[in-house]
Amino acid sequence: MEDYLKQAIEIVKAQASVRNMNEDEITSMIRALTQSIRGVAEGVAPIVDTEPAVDPKNAIREKSVICCECGKSFKVLTKRHLATHGLTPEEYREKFGYKKGTSLVAKSLARDRRKTMQGMKLWEKRKKAVKTPA
């Protein structure tokens, strides 16, 4: 068991040196790799983890969104990334218990976008355009 754990830690160290990883990502990746390495060494089929990589309640954070499928961190969880897991945004929300309109964007980014849109006041420009006959 200890050898499998050491191998998994070395792989995760290499991954963490290439990109930023939070504590949840590191521990879940070590756990999954240890099981997979042990399975390969013992000739057993790898165990498929059906649990989400991160608790969905804690996945949408201030500066990032963690994909509950793979545990990777993003600012925006895009359709393109979800497609790699065979999911649409709607299916992803349903699978992990999010409400229908939940934004899959980091909280700080959503707040910045909201401020920008409020500053543009497009609704006022639209009213002016409708009032002036062409």
Q: Is 67 exposed, middle or buried (0-12, 13-18, 19+ CB in 10 A)?
A: buried
Each residue's pLDDT tens digit, 95-131: 999 999 999 999 999 999 999 999 998 888 888 888 7
Q: What is the pTM of this model?
A: 0.56
Q: Do the Cβ atoms of 59 and 65 come closer than 8 Å? A: yes
Task: Report the candidate in 69, 79, 73 with the shortest Cα–Cα distance to residue 48.
Answer: 69
Residue with the two structure tokens 């990334």 = 81
- Return the axis-axis angle of helices 23-42 and 2-18, rounded to nearest 10°: 140
Task: Give the residue, 90 or 5, on which the prediction is more confident.
Answer: 90
- The structural domains of the chain, with segments of one domain joined by +, span 1-51, 52-122
pLDDT of residue 50: 60
Q: Do the Cβ atoms of 119 and 74 come closer than 8 Å? A: no
Above pLDDT 90, what percent of the chain? 43
CATH superfamily of 52-122: ROS/MUCR transcriptional regulator protein (1.10.10.1550)
Decide: helix, strand or coil at residue 117: helix
Strand (E) or helix (H) holding 74: strand 73-74
